[in-house]
Homo-oligomer: A and B are copies of this chain.
Amino acid sequence: MGRKSIIKSTLATVFVLLACYAFFNTFIYPNPLRLEELSLRFDPRGNSLNFPANSGPVKVYMYDLPRKFTYGVIESYAMARGGLKAPVNDVTKLRYPGNQHSAEWYLFADLTRADQSGSPVTRVLDPEEADLFYVPFFSSLSLVVNPIRPASVAGDGLVYSDEEMQEGLIDWLEGQVYWPRNNGWDHVFICQDPNALYKIVDRVKNGVLLVSDLGRLGRDQASLVKDVILPYSHRINTFNGGVGIESRKSLLFFMGNRYRKEGGKIRDLLFQVLENEKDVIIKHGAQSRESRRMASQGMHTSKFCLHPAGDTPSACRLFDAVVSLCVPVIVSDYIELPFEDVIDYRKIAVFIDSNSAVKPGYLVKLLRKISSQRILEFQWELKKVKQYFEYEYPNGTVNEIWRQVSMKLPLIKLMINRDKRLVKRDLTESDCSCLCSNQSGMYTAL
Binding site for B on A (CB under 8 A): 24, 27-36, 38-39, 41-49, 51-54, 78, 81-83, 91-92, 94-99, 102, 105-106, 109-110, 112-118, 120, 183, 206, 219-220, 223-226, 235, 289, 292, 333-334, 337, 340-346, 349, 351-355, 387-388, 392-396, 399-400, 403-404, 407, 409-411, 413-415, 417-425, 429-445
Residues on the B chain within 8 Å of A334, using CB: 425
Once the chains are docked, how many angstroms separate the CA of A441 from the CA of B427? 11
Q: How far is the CB of A26 from chain B (nearest CB, A)?
A: 11
Q: Is the CB of A441 within 8 A of B417?
A: no
Q: How far is the CB of A393 from chain B (nearest CB, A)?
A: 7
**CB closest chain-B residue, reference A334:** B425
Also in contact, A433 and B32, with CB within 8 A (given A27-B83, A53-B341): no
Q: Which of B53, B225, B399, B423 is A445 in contact with, Cβ under 8 Å?
A: B423
Residues on the B chain within 8 Å of A345, using CB: 417, 421
Residues on the B chain within 8 Å of A109, using CB: 33, 35, 38-39
Q: Is the CB of B421 within 8 A of A28?
A: no
Q: Is the CB of A43 within 8 A of B394?
A: yes
Also in contact, A442 and B423, with CB within 8 A (given A29-B98, A118-B47, A403-B53): yes
Q: Is the CB of A95 within 8 A of B340?
A: no
Q: Is the CB of A420 within 8 A of B28?
A: no
Of A29, A355, A392, A393, the most chain B CB neighbours within 10 A belong to A29
Sample (9) of A-B pairs whose CB atoms are under 8 Å apart: A32-B96, A54-B120, A219-B429, A223-B433, A225-B225, A337-B418, A349-B421, A424-B443, A434-B434
Q: Which of B39, B118, B392, B410 is A38 in contact with, Cβ under 8 Å?
A: B392
Once the chains are docked, how many angstroms separate the CA of A41 from the CA of B390? 12
Q: How far is the CB of A221 from chain B (nearest CB, A)?
A: 10
**CB closest chain-B residue, reference A395:** B46
Q: Is the CB of A351 within 8 A of B421?
A: yes
Residues on the B chain within 8 Å of A349, using CB: 421
Q: Which of B48, B337, B421 is A346 in contact with, Cβ under 8 Å?
A: B421
Q: Is the CB of A342 within 8 A of B413?
A: yes
Q: Which of B116, B223, B410, B425 is A434 in contact with, Cβ under 8 Å?
A: B223
Q: Is the CB of B424 within 8 A of A440?
A: yes
Also in contact, A105 and B342, with CB within 8 A (given A51-B400, A443-B424): no
Once the chains are docked, how many angstroms separate the CA of A220 from the CA of B437? 10
Q: How far is the CB of A402 from chain B (nearest CB, A)?
A: 11
Q: Which of B38, B106, B442 is A424 in contact with, Cβ under 8 Å?
A: B442
Residues on the B chain within 8 Å of A47, using CB: 117-118, 394-395
Once the chains are docked, how many angstroms separate the CA of A442 from the CA of B424? 5
Residues on the B chain within 8 Å of A43, using CB: 118, 394
Q: How far is the CB of A348 from chain B (nearest CB, A)?
A: 10
Q: How far is the CB of A330 from chain B (nearest CB, A)?
A: 8
Residues on the B chain within 8 Å of A94, using CB: 34
Q: A223-B435, A424-B442 are in contact. List 15 more A-B contacts (CB 8 A).
A: A30-B97, A31-B98, A38-B392, A42-B394, A44-B117, A47-B117, A51-B388, A183-B438, A226-B435, A341-B417, A346-B420, A354-B423, A420-B445, A423-B442, A424-B440
Q: Which of B33, B115, B355 is A102 in contact with, Cβ under 8 Å?
A: B33
Q: Which of B97, B120, B225 is A435 in contact with, Cβ under 8 Å?
A: B225
Q: Is the CB of A44 within 8 A of B118?
A: yes
Q: Which of B53, B353, B418, B429 is A342 in contact with, Cβ under 8 Å?
A: B53
Residues on the B chain within 8 Å of A410, using CB: 341, 404, 407
